[in-house]
């Protein structure tokens, strides 16, 4: 049966002094700032067992049921479209590198399979201070997925080969939440999200999804009849969605001095838009959570157009390059991968550029919701060929600020 805990959200308010930057960018010294007092509301979440939950409920407080469910790394798609070693063609496709923005001063978290800290593309960026393992399998990327995604976001140019969109990022957080022989659960996902936000992340990139079918299968293996297992899995999914929406609301919450971040997630690769008949599958959590930027994938098309990838799930906010994308691999290597897992870090990198622009323009720390709205408003639906509804392409092809 499903292991269940309960979420207790506690809210506190305190007066906090912050420093506001003068217009024109980060201050060079203390004289370039002005002090402001603000009332800051902070919400923390505790996961508790049923015994403590019963005590709290008797006191009249409401709690959310939090079932423990499996989370899977979104599987890669076989190199069938634009196959080969690939290129970092997404950089030009989304217009990165304009306005002289490169992500300076923005903190980016990648929650994935880890990273190869010795890869030349990450020279000087990774140490034990900003690399945390939530799996117990060690600070090594045995899959290569996390290294590849990180390279798309902030990988450095090596031997004149550019792979990263936001090459000026110097503040990074790497959370290892998945591995080849490790079953990731919602526990690791929640812990990593909290760690990233509390460590100062402005943008968080995720390429994992809740494994509903795997959860239903486990319930059947535990002795439930098939129909009962499906109903139980649906109930668990519903309850976890309620909790995760509340958790993300906490993560993205804005405030003058509160910690908050823009969360970007891959929509998934379960669709078959090229089959007969064609069909597309809806995205799962965390991509479908409220205020999360859900990302679909496109491939290179004809001329200046791009084609919606046949594997890309629906329920997206934006689309980005995700087919035969060249980036870093463990062991100092480079290679191509395909999937919405490659599209999501493109959008995460663009989010850092937008974050930097908004911060510079408004001379204050950006509100994640505002950055999200700016990105949605700048997207280009007409750059994607064919006729597609909003569920399939969202606002369209994500773009860098201009």
Catalytic sites, residue numbers: 112, 145, 341
Q: For strand 184-185 and strand 70-73, is the pairing parallel, antiparallel, or unpaired?
A: antiparallel
Cβ-based neighbours of 389, under 8 Å, separated by 6 or more? none
Token pair of 168, please? 């000026």
Residue 299 sits at φ, ψ, to 5 deg, of -115, 170
- Answer left, alpha or beta for residue 136, where phi above 0 means left and psi between -120 and 50 means alpha: left
> Which string of DSSP letters, residue by residue, matches 4-59?
EEEEEEEEEEEEEEEEEEPTTSS-SSGGGEEEEEEEEEEEEEEEE-HHHHHHHHHT
Instruction: For residues 207 and 390, give the distance between their C-alpha atoms in angstroms, rounded to a whole number.
Output: 21
Q: Which residues pair with 360 in a beta bridge?
A: none
Q: Work out the number of other CB atoms within 10 angstroms of the CB of residue 370.
A: 15
Residues 364 and 22 sit within 8 Å (Cβ to Cβ): no
């Amino acid at each position: 049966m499903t292991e269940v805990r309960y979420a207790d959200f506690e809210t506190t308010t305190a007066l906090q002094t912050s420093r506001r930057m003068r217009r024109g960018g980060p201050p060079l010294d203390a004289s370039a700032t002005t002090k402001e007092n603000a009332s800051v509301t902070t919400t923390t979440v505790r996961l508790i067992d049923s015994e403590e939950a019963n005590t709290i409920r008797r006191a009249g407080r409401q709690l959310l049921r939090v079932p423990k469910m499996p989370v899977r790394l979104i599987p890669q798609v076989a190199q069938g479209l634009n196959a080969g070693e690939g290129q970092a063609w997404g950089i030009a496709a989304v217009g990165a590198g304009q306005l002289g923005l490169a992500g300076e001063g923005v903190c980016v978290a990648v929650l994935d399979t880890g990273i190869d800290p010795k890869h030349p593309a990450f020279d000087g960026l990774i140490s034990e201070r900003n690399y945390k393992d939530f799996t117990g399998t060690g600070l090594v990327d045995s899959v290569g997925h996390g290294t590849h995604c990180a390279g798309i976001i902030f990988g450095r140019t090596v031997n004149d080969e550019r792979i990263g969109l936001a090459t000026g990022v110097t503040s990074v957080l790497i959370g290892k939440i998945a591995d080849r022989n490790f079953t990731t659960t919602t526990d690791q996902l929640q812990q990593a999200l909290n760690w990233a936000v509390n460590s100062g992340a402005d943008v968080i990139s995720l390429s994992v999804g809740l494994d509903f079918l795997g959860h239903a299968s486990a319930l059947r293996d535990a002795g439930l009849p098939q129909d009962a297992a499906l109903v139980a899995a649906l109930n668990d999914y519903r309850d976890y969605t309620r909790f995760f929406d509340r958790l993300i609301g906490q993560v993205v919450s804005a405030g003058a001095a509160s910690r908050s971040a823009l969360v970007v997630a891959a929509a998934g690769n379960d669709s078959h838009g090229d089959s007969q008949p064609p069909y597309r599958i809806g995205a799962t959590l965390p991509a479908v959570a409220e205020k999360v930027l859900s990302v679909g994938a496109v491939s290179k098309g004809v001329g200046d157009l791009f084609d919606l990838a046949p594997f890309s799930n629906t329920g997206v906010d934006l689309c980005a390059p995700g087919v035969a994308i060249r980036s870093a691999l463990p062991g100092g290597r480079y290679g191509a991968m395909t999937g919405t897992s490659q599209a999501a870090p493109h959008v995460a990198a663009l989010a850092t550029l937008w974050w930097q622009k908004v911060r510079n323009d408004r001379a204050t720390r950006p509100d994640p919701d505002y950055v999200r709205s700016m990105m949605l408003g700048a997207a280009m639906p007409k750059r994607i060929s064919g006729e597609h509804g909003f569920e399939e392409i969202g606002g369209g092809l994500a773009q860098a600020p201009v």
